Amino acid sequence: MAQDAAPNQNQTDLMAKGQGFIAALDQSGGSTPKALLQYGVKEDEYDGDEAMFAEIHAMRTRIIMSPDFTSEKVLGAILFERTMRGDIDGKPVPSVLWEDRGIIPFLKIDKGLEDKANGVQMMKPIPGLEALLADARGFGVFGTKERSVIHEANAEGISAVVAQQFELGRAVCAAGLVPIIEPEVDINSPTKGEAEALLRDAISAELAKLDASENVMLKLTIPNEDGFYDVLADHPNVVRVVALSGGYSTADACEKLARQPKMIASFSRALAEGLSKGMTDAEFDAALGSNIEKIYQASL
């Protein structure tokens, strides 16, 4: 990696050693209506994509500007592309996060999932990837996030998912960013434990191929076995291992995460649980602050 394309070292150190968690604020077009419904905004309350995205941007702005949403407990935040390109009071959102809140900005770059095959869902192609990564650098983004899903303990499928993830991860590293590699294991999979064993082996094999300049993060479903991914967290090329909530309630996700000594949270739905557009600012801030505290404690 060229020296001028290296990730921000201060942010790298903070992400590797800091106490806190990563907030996932990256719901995209397909998941936005569901996120808004959780927030108390029904589909008949907005007309068309622009109005929908305006609603979700207002929700994210309210979260970002809430008093407890600071670097004291939140290390990073993952943004949807439209959020990265948006602003809060005229200032780009990534700049608000890092300069005003001390929170490291990430960008979701995947474009959704292919249909299920071999027990997994691969990522769809990402057109314009090079330009998107260059734009992310320009906005001061530190890293990216890219998600695929594992439904079954299918060795061929899991190997393909991990290979695709690391191929994309190398492109992200070459652009001077740190990829969050996210091969999610479905929490409802009847072969979840077996899938996790195959996944750990596949990730270990890919990590062994990285050179010293290629650093990655891993975003993984909370495993059945306590400490199961500690060996990955200890790898020299891994900045941090973070956990997705995967549909668990905030309470369940935090209880399970607290048993994983080397994972911190990267929660989306669990972070926003109980928040509503109709709340007063005091009610909203209290509810969000409570969620932040629970997730922070589980990440220690």
- pLDDT averages per 10-residue partition of the chain, 300 residues: 68 97 86 91 95 95 98 97 97 98 98 97 98 98 98 98 98 98 98 98 98 97 97 98 93 96 94 95 97 96
* Inter-CA distances, 90 with 17, 83, 85, 86, Å: 32, 13, 11, 9
Of 81, 12, 6, nearest in space to 238 by CA: 12
Q: What is the DSSP letter of 300?
A: -
pLDDT of residue 4: 52
pLDDT of residue 108: 97
Using DSSP's 3-state secondary structure scheme, residue 28 falls into coil
Task: Classify residue 295 as exposed, middle or buried by CB count within 10 Å of its CB (0-12, 13-18, 19+).
Answer: buried
pTM, 2 dp: 0.95
Domain tally for the chain? Answer: 1
* DSSP line for 34-91: HHHHHTT--GGGS-SHHHHHHHHHHHHHHHHTSTT-STTTEEEEEE-HHHHH-EETTE
Q: Return the half-sphere exposure (C-beta side, CA atoms, 13 A cut-off) of residue 234.
A: 7
Structure tokens at 134: 């260059």
Structure tokens at 270: 């669990």
Distance (Å, whole) CA 267 – CA 31: 15
Residue recorded with tokens 């500690």: 230
pLDDT of residue 1: 34
How do strand 178-185 and strand 143-150 relate by DSSP bridges? parallel
pLDDT of residue 29: 64
Could you give the residue numbers annotated as active site? 182, 219
pLDDT of residue 19: 97
Q: What is the pLDDT of residues 96-152, one digit of tens each?
A: 999 999 999 999 999 999 999 999 999 999 999 999 999 999 999 999 999 999 999
The neighbouring-strand residues paired with 144 are 107, 179
The neighbouring-strand residues paired with 120 are 117, 150
Check which CATH number belongs to the domain holding 223 and give it.
3.20.20.70
The neighbouring-strand residues paired with 92 are 87
pLDDT of residue 156: 98
Q: Whole domain around residue 106: which residue ranges?
A: 3-299
